[in-house]
Amino acid sequence: MSHAPSTPADRLAALRAAMREHAIDAWWLPSSDPHNSEYLPEHWAGRAWLSGFDGSVGTLVVTQDAAGLWVDSRYFVQAEAQLAGSGIEMMKLVQGQATAPMTWLAERLPAGATLGYDAQVVSLAHARQMEEILGPVGIARRGDLDLLDAVWPDRPALPAQPLYAQPAAFRDETRPERLARLRAAMAEHGADWHPISTLDDIAWLTQLRGDDVAYNPVFLAHLLVGRETATLFVAPGTLEAELEAALAADGIAVAPYDAWRARLAALPADERVLLDPAKLTLGTREALPAEMAVVEAFQPSTLDKGRKSDAELAHVRRTMEADGAALCRFFAWLERALSEGERVTELDVETRLREERVRDPHFVSESFNTIAAFNANGALPHYRATPEAHAVIAGDGLLLIDSGGQYHGGTTDITRMVPVGEVSAAQREDCSLVLKGTIALSRARFPEGIAAPRLDAIARAPLWATGRDYGHGTGHGVGYFLNVHEGPQVISAGAPVAPHTAMRAGMITSIEPGVYRPGQWGVRIENLVANRPAEASDFGDFLRFETLTLCPIDTRCLDVALLDAAEADWLDAYHAEVRERLAPRLEGDALAWLEARTRPLARG
């Protein structure tokens, strides 16, 4: 190739040429890597490079005469704008229709056609769905190629940043203890081996952290756990000798990252392996000996990791105080700057938030792209301001700020609404109804073990009552200085009701209902909560939510008359706790702002 393709249209043409060269009739390019990651190392960000759409989730499917990019409702507006002129059509992915791209292919391709993909980044579960939908209509699948290598001449190399141990002060158990629980779960399934590729599970089991993936303190690795051995596959040179020796002392050997598939292929064919089809790729499954017995089950470490210990929750509470104090300092600055007529942009919000958070010695990084979205930009749930496209915060309206931090003592994620100038009655109504949804779920009691998706309707009920709704889930799990989006629980009507989505004590989850009015404004209010045992009951064990996030909810955005007495009491009690726990960490303007924003509601 004489030159690198510089536009999405050029890249699409280059891909189609490579497809013809290899007799591929369609190409499947998901937003994934060999580790089922949400945030991808640049090496695997091919869908964004090829299409120009840079949202976190989307599936690109290309044939010789058509191309579609399937995205969910969070990205409809963004994808349509970024795909303009690319030759790729934005396709709306509706909840419950995850297989729509496969159905599209089944209807478009003739029998005998070949669909190509990189088996190293396609999950085993998705590969099986392809088999079910495409097999009966005679479409062959081929997974031994990565055509991105052919069309992406300056493709970034794999990251290989140094690894480090999670600080001892923030650990409450040892690596051998965690491996022992995992091996006990393997024994229950009669398994001799268990391959793990999800990076947060590996970081949790090894008590290591890294900087290979944006926003999540994880590192590229695979982990193979046997009945008596464990091997960590990482890039050579990323572990200092002292840390490698500590791992060895805890029963974890180290091997090169690229030796993973060869090691799997060398496993004893007469032994049994435990794997989770949703968390391993087709390429990993195909590397195992064909005759090896396979036990399929939900990955045990994911549930174990999701249930935070009392010691971890204690660290999270202190982290929330530090994060809340940083937010108070930020909001005090923002309010003063706007009142004095300073020019403040959405980009300034992101910069100043980081400046305040980084003052804490345990702060490591943001936990995701900060969303600072004024008025119409707030209607895009995953909006991000860029130097090329951002708003000045001036005039009248609502500013939505969704941000979070990674600290050694926990991961934060919070959304708050800020009034700018005059807030309209319609905006106040939306904010109040969203807050009613947040409060409704925050106050809920529910049986331990209930499937988390079943709780979704509690937050939506106040919005449904007025004909409002939102297109995203209500809540996601959150890690302990790990991924800001963590399973197994997810509070979303579109998520499957399955045993592994059960709510258990110790889990941390977001509550974040919203309302979005395209071209006008968006509203979202988000807190993190922890599952805690509720009062004893004759009908079994129940859980309640402990609100962890500590930051005022600006009542100037509300129509207080829309809150009933119990909701007003909840908000006053929440603000009293926020004031009590954050005031000792603040002084000057920030303390004054906190006191002003946490005053009890004036009730009629």
Question: Residue 496: what pLDDT?
Answer: 86
Specify whether the CB–CB gap between 119 and 127 falls below 8 A.
yes
Specify whether the CB–CB gap between 331 and 557 falls below 8 A.
no
Number of helices (H), then strands (E), belonging to the chain: the values are 18, 28
Write the Ramachandran bin of 8: left for phi over 0, alpha for psi from -120 to 50, otherwise beta: alpha
Instruction: Give the pLDDT confidence of 495-524 residue by residue, as tens digits.
Output: 889 888 999 999 999 999 999 999 999 999
Q: Is residue 159 part of a domain?
A: no
Q: Which residue has the higher pLDDT, 38 or 449?
A: 449
Do 242 and 176 have their domain in common?
A: yes
Do 267 and 327 have their domain in common?
A: no
Question: What's the pLDDT band for 604 if we cut at 50, 70, 90?
Answer: low
Question: Residue 1: what pLDDT?
Answer: 41
Q: Is residue 183 part of a domain?
A: yes
Do 417 and 474 have their domain in common?
A: yes
Question: Residue 4: what pLDDT?
Answer: 67
Question: Residue 3: what pLDDT?
Answer: 62
What is the average per-residue pLDDT within 548-556? 98
Instruction: Give the pLDDT confidence of 133-185 residue by residue, as tens digits.
Output: 999 999 999 999 999 999 999 999 999 999 999 999 999 999 999 999 999 99
Instruction: Give the pLDDT confidence of 38-92 residue by residue, as tens digits.
Output: 889 999 999 999 999 988 889 999 999 999 999 987 788 888 989 999 999 999 9
pLDDT above 70 covers what percent of the chain? 99
Q: Is residue 3 part of a domain?
A: no
How many domains are there within the chain? Answer: 3
Residue where the block lists tokens 């958070």? 357
According to DSSP, the residues that pair with 165 across neighbouring strands are 208
* Rounded Cα gap, residues 412 and 144, in angstroms: 40
Do 370 and 452 have their domain in common?
A: yes
Q: Which residues contact 160 (CB under 8 A, 6 or more apart)?
A: 212, 220, 235, 237, 238
Pairing of strands 486-491, 514-517: unpaired
Helix or strand run (H / E) with residue 476: strand 475-477
Q: Which residues contact 414 (CB under 8 A, 6 or more apart)?
A: 323, 327, 402, 403, 404, 526, 527, 528, 549, 551
Q: What is the DSSP string of 64-121?
A: SS-EEEEE-GGGHHHHHHHTTTTT-EEEE--TT-TTHHHHHHHHHSPTT-EEE-BTTT
Do 331 and 295 have their domain in common?
A: no
What is the average per-residue pLDDT within 249-257? 98
Q: Is residue 156 part of a domain?
A: no
Do 287 and 401 have their domain in common?
A: no
Do 559 and 473 have their domain in common?
A: yes
According to DSSP, the residues that pair with 116 across neighbouring strands are 27, 142
What is the average per-residue pLDDT within 344-368? 97
Q: What average pLDDT does the chain have?
A: 95
Q: What is the CATH number of the domain that holds 264?
A: 3.40.350.10
Q: What is the DSSP letter of 162?
A: P
Do 16 and 145 have their domain in common?
A: yes
Residue 109 structural domain: 8-151
Do 378 and 470 have their domain in common?
A: yes
What is the average per-residue pLDDT within 326-355? 97
* Rounded Cα gap, residues 353 and 334, in angstroms: 10
Question: What's the pLDDT band for 30 if we cut at 50, 70, 90?
Answer: very high
Nearest to 289 by CA among 270, 304, 314, 308: 270
Instruction: Say yes or no to pLDDT of 376 above 70.
Output: yes
Which of 280, 305, 330 finishes a domain?
Answer: 305
Instruction: Give the pLDDT confidence of 472-499 residue by residue, as tens digits.
Output: 999 999 999 999 999 999 999 988 898 8
Please work out, in degrees rounded to the nearest 5, the angle formed at the alpha carbon of residue 215 by the alpha carbons of 212 and 218: 40
Do 441 and 586 have their domain in common?
A: yes
Q: Is residue 602 part of a domain?
A: no
Q: Is residue 603 part of a domain?
A: no
Question: Residue 2: what pLDDT?
Answer: 46
What is the average per-residue pLDDT within 336-346? 96
Q: What is the CATH number of the domain that holds 349?
A: 3.90.230.10
Question: Residue 410: what pLDDT?
Answer: 98
Do 331 and 450 have their domain in common?
A: yes
Lowest mean pLDDT among 8-17, 199-208, 507-516: 8-17
Instruction: Give the pLDDT confidence of 577-596 residue by residue, as tens digits.
Output: 999 999 999 999 999 999 99
Instruction: Give the pLDDT confidence of 213-252 residue by residue, as tens digits.
Output: 999 999 999 999 999 999 999 999 999 999 999 999 999 9
Do 344 and 423 have their domain in common?
A: yes
Which of 305, 325, 345 finishes a domain?
Answer: 305
Q: Is residue 538 part of a domain?
A: yes
* Rounded Cα gap, residues 106 and 108, in angstroms: 6
- Token pair, residue 385, equals 């301001």
Question: Residue 458: what pLDDT?
Answer: 98
pLDDT above 90 covers what percent of the chain? 90
Q: Is residue 22 part of a domain?
A: yes
Which of 248, 271, 305 finishes a domain?
Answer: 305
Question: What's the pLDDT band for 94 if we cut at 50, 70, 90?
Answer: confident
